[in-house]
Amino acid sequence: MDSFKALLIEEHEGKVGHRFVDMTRADLDAGEVVIRVAYSSINFKDALAATGAGKIIRRFPCVGGIDLSGTVLESADPRFQPGDPVIATSFDIGVAHHGGYAELARVPADWVVPLPAGLSLYDAMALGTAGFTAALGIVRMEENGLTPDKGPVIVTGATGGVGSLAVDMLAQRGYRVVALTGKESEADYLRGLGAAEVMLRQDLDLSRIRPLDRARWAGAVDNLGGDVLAWIASTMEQGGTIASIGLAASMSLNTTVAPFILRGVSLLGIDSGYIREPYRSGVWQRLASDLRPPHLARMSRSIPFADLPATFDEYISGRAKGRVVVEVAGG
């Protein structure tokens, strides 16, 4: 493959934009593993990066796409051989190192994970960083003592990628899942993924958050941050656990220490980006086994590579639902 297609994110006079370009291997960043990219995906972070709605890109120009799955073409690292199906997500991919929105990628071997048995290259991107992060949040909460008998788990931003996957995985593990969403029209979708109850964000009074309120949640997967996270902290049960994953609503957190010192609540920070081996492959193995979301096909759809630029706005405006797989070169 001498020349290949890529979606390049550039900055001109302080303005960030993206366009399809033809690249050659010589344009790629350094790394031991060359991968023919089959699929990528869209995460909230990808949309922020490509449109400049968030300061995500740390090195311009940069091929976008924080996720990719594909087949090894060449490897200077003995852990990988030509023909191996692999996944590469996180680290600097798509933010400071050319990413998955290209037919060819070259990345350090430490960023590559073998495709677990039981997952296809397509499944791997239907999961992507969103699935990896939802699973990591659940693993960390359970390491902190969360079990289904402790009480309900609330998932915020529930119709989004991380949210849909967290609802599905938690329900399948026997948790009573309460899905918090801004989309009234998607209640049936969320119940179909296993939510026992659907709450609407617009029904919450976030103008009066008390230090401690009625205790309701044993666990929480939060994709929003801001007032919603502050409200969750104030309504956690004794010994409850929050996985703080996202900032789709706000980067701020204005709360008190009351939930932490009077109810023993744990606020776990979840960073999918720099978790290393063997933890990283371990979480991927679990995504192919006991944490595999049963409704992955129902919550994901695919788009041709050419349609990628037109899809980012759904994410920026909060209309995104489930997961979008990008057919870069196909499986």
- Cis peptide, bond prior to residue 61, ω within 30 of zero: yes
Greatest C-alpha distance within the chain: 62
Q: How far is the CB of 42 from ligand NAP (least distance, A)?
A: 8
Please report whether residue 41 would count as binding ligand NAP according to CB under 6 A: no
Using CB under 6 A as the binding rule, the residues of this chain from 153 to 182 that contact ligand NAP are 157-163, 181-182
Q: How far is the CB of 44 from ligand NAP (least distance, A)?
A: 3
Please report whether residue 245 would count as binding ligand NAP according to CB under 6 A: yes
Question: What tokens does 100 get?
Answer: 């998955």
According to DSSP, the residues that pair with 324 across neighbouring strands are 42, 301
Cα 224 to Cα 221: distance, rounded to the nearest angstrom: 9
Please report whether residue 280 would count as binding ligand NAP according to CB under 6 A: no
Binder of ligand NAP out of 75, 89, 223, 266 (CB under 6 A): 223
- Which H or E element spans position 308? helix 308-316
Tell me 325's DSSP state: E
Please report whether residue 224 would count as binding ligand NAP according to CB under 6 A: yes
Using CB under 6 A as the binding rule, the residues of this chain from 47 to 106 that contact ligand NAP are none
Q: Give the count of residues interacting with ligand NAP (CB under 6 A).
A: 31
Q: Which amino acid is at 39?
A: Y
CB closer to ligand NAP out of 133 and 241: 133
Give the length of the chain.
331
Candidate ranges 4-12, 16-24, 29-37, 38-46; the one touching ligand NAP (CB under 6 A):
38-46
The total of other beta-carbon atoms located within 10 Å of residue 252's CB is 12
CB closer to ligand NAP out of 107 and 136: 136
Please report whether residue 140 would count as binding ligand NAP according to CB under 6 A: no
Residue labelled with tokens 């991380």: 162
CB closer to ligand NAP out of 223 and 235: 223
For 264, the 3-state DSSP assignment is coil
Binder of ligand NAP out of 94, 151, 219, 246 (CB under 6 A): 246
According to DSSP, the residues that pair with 323 across neighbouring strands are 300
Tell me 93's DSSP state: B
Sign (positive or negative) of CA dihedral 243, 165, 324, 198: negative
Binder of ligand NAP out of 114, 273, 282, 309 (CB under 6 A): 273
Binder of ligand NAP out of 7, 16, 27, 43 (CB under 6 A): 43
According to DSSP, the residues that pair with 41 across neighbouring strands are 325
From residue 76, give the alpha-carbon distance in Å to each of 26, 219, 245, 253.
16, 44, 35, 45
Q: How far is the CB of 224 from ligand NAP (least distance, A)?
A: 5
CB closer to ligand NAP out of 218 and 245: 245
Q: How far is the CB of 213 from ligand NAP (least distance, A)?
A: 20
Q: Give one DSSP letter per residue of 12-54, joined into a string.
A: ETTEEEEEEEEEEGGGSPP-SEEEEEEEEEE-HHHHHHHHTSS
* CB-CB contact of 124 with 196 (8 Å): no
User: Binding mask 108-137 vs ligand NAP (x if CB under 6 A, - otherwise)?
Assistant: ---------------------xx--x----
* CB-CB contact of 303 with 328 (8 Å): no
User: Binding mask 290-319 vs ligand NAP (x if CB under 6 A, - otherwise)?
Assistant: -------------------------x--x-
CB closer to ligand NAP out of 120 and 311: 311
Cα 38 to Cα 193: distance, rounded to the nearest angstrom: 27
Please report whether residue 272 would count as binding ligand NAP according to CB under 6 A: yes
Please report whether residue 271 would count as binding ligand NAP according to CB under 6 A: yes
Residues that bind ligand NAP (CB under 6 A): 43-45, 129-130, 133, 157-163, 181-183, 201, 223-224, 245-249, 270-273, 315, 318, 320
